Amino acid sequence: MAEQVIIFDTTLRDGEQSPGASMNAAEKMRLAIQLEKLGVDVLEAGFPAASPGDFEAVSNIAGKLKHTEVAALARTSKGDIDRAWGAIQHAAKPRIHTFIATSDLHMHYKLNMTKDEVLKTTVETVKYASSYTDNVEFSAEDASRSDRDFLCKVFEAAIEAGATTINIPDTVGYAIPEEFSELTKYVITHTPNIGKAVVSVHCHNDLGLATANTVAAVRAGARQAEVTINGIGERAGNTSLEEFVMAMHTRPNYLPLYSNIKTELIYPTSRLVSMITGIIVQPNKAIVGANAFAHEAGIHQDGVLKNPMTYEIMKPETVGLSASKLVLGKHSGRHALRSRLKELGYDLSDDELNLVFKKFKGLADKKKHVVDEDLEVIVTEGILRTTDTFRLEYLHVTCGTTVIPMATVKLTINERAVHGTGYGNGPIDAAFDSIAKLTGTESELLRFSISAITSGTDAQGEVTVRLQENGLIALGRGADPDIITASVKAYINGLNRLEYLKAHPVDATEVL
């Protein structure tokens, strides 16, 4: 009989550690609600001790979700654990997740602690966490580079102290699948009281092996997988939820396991994360990339037409991709719009729908058909960005081969209208120059990219920028049928995210 693998999603915690992937409170809440709909068993909402903003976001999510366990991360200190519990105590299903490093490298250079000190700290803090709740997870940071016998000793002590889940993280993405499988088996067979806890794994993708390592560990006996949507996370990212879940779904003969994930919501959730973070999913990304179900080679196309299974190992509909889309236009009404938005996973209030409908009508006047990707942009820009410091009111540019590029911009800054003019090498450079002067910011543009959201000459252009200011990095994203306007929206979005980071500083300590 197939066994369940618990899906522990850490998109809101580890995923947010992707450079520039910060989210505001409204965005975090929207994503948390979607992740509960997706069916994740545990949602790691954040690191409450990192900042007051993170504490508030975790607390709000804990009060909202009804079915999914809400976990809060804490270092092995009573202060962190107090903050974690303070944020999640009113959750329907709260979990405290505490961790400490166990590798010789981390203990010596990062913690400056001996093995005995780490062991003692583990016991004391897990016991302390257990005084708040009987749902405590303990992680041994850098487990894949730890002495195996010491690792088992720490896990045994943590379970004895009250941990009900023990986590084996490949913190730096160092492990190879066979090696990680052996480590998981070793922990299971050499930890005397392992039967009292769920064995979890948390893998990073530095060698491109995060999903492979997670699959190997689950085959070896682990029954919780810690994952993120689109595989986002620290450095090269984490195990991708969609890859791991669909591996189980597609290969039940090899992985006789199951999860509670509603696979048809995978693609909409992936799009939502991409929209919120501004991190574009690479076209050849497994499961959710634009090319995942595309076939260009003639022999492939011929085979797919005869039988899709010749070159598709799963049906696109299984992950939420549909060949038929309801195309909306300027004559479409609120009912049709609400219906399509619900199918895409957006259950909006009447006020939110009115705002989206107004923007939808404006876009429908500019292009003949409004498709799903356009609607996602409208929802993201119209609903999720509610606390922006800077807002674009007006843009006018002059450019050409015989004039100096110039841009006149009007902004609202904290509800105060300002306007100014800037010059540059081109219209976008001129607009950015004007905005920088008006906002008094000195950010450096690290990256600028343009792509079309849909096909056709009337497609919206999607611009992504990466900005850096005073050591902080933020991604900005904007979309519009006019590429210059899209660029300005992206730049302003990036500046707003920088302002959010300035107001909500986070602990830079890398974890798990």
Alpha-carbon distance of 438 to 362, in angstroms, equals: 27
DSSP state of 17: G
Three-state SS for 240? strand
- CA angle 376/378/384 to nearest 5° reads 85
In the predicted model, is pLDDT for residue 145 greater than 50? yes
Q: Which domains does the chain have, with CATH numbers?
A: 3-277 (3.20.20.70), 334-382 (no CATH), 390-503 (3.30.160.270)
Could you tell me the pLDDT band of residue 508, with boundaries at 50, 70 and 90? very low
Mean pLDDT for the stretch of residues 15-40: 86
Residues in a beta bridge with 445: 467
Helix 177-190 × helix 148-161 angle, to 10°: 50
Backbone angles phi, psi at 208, to 5 degrees: 75, 25
In the predicted model, is pLDDT for residue 324 greater than 50? no
Could you tell me the pLDDT band of residue 502, with boundaries at 50, 70 and 90? confident
Q: What percent of the chain has pLDDT over 90?
A: 63
Nearest CA-CA partner of 96 in 124, 120, 64, 128: 128
pLDDT of 459 reads 74
Q: Express each pLDDT in 262-320 by its tens digit.
A: 999 999 899 889 888 878 888 889 998 877 776 545 544 455 456 666 656 788 888 88
Alpha-carbon distance of 194 to 190, in angstroms, equals: 8
Burial of residue 111 (number of CB atoms within 10 Å: 0-12, 13-18, 19+): middle
DSSP state of 502: H
Could you tell me the pLDDT band of residue 349, with boundaries at 50, 70 and 90? confident
Q: Express each pLDDT in 59-110 by its tens digit.
A: 999 999 999 999 999 999 999 999 999 999 999 999 999 999 999 999 999 9
Q: Give the tokens for residue 267.
A: 């693609």
pLDDT of 455 reads 67
Asked whether the beta carbons of 480 and 461 are under 8 A apart, the reply is yes
Q: Give the tokens for residue 112.
A: 């400056």
Query: How close are the terminal C-alpha atoms of the chain, in Å?
Result: 32
pLDDT of 298 reads 52
- CA angle 210/214/215 to nearest 5° reads 120
In the predicted model, is pLDDT for residue 57 greater than 70? yes
Give the total residue count for the chain. 512
Mean pLDDT for the stretch of residues 250-267: 95
Q: What average pLDDT does the chain have?
A: 89
Alpha-carbon distance of 233 to 169, in angstroms, equals: 14
Give the other-Cβ count within 10 Å of 362's Cβ: 11
Alpha-carbon distance of 353 to 341, in angstroms, equals: 9
More confident site: 38 or 22 = 38
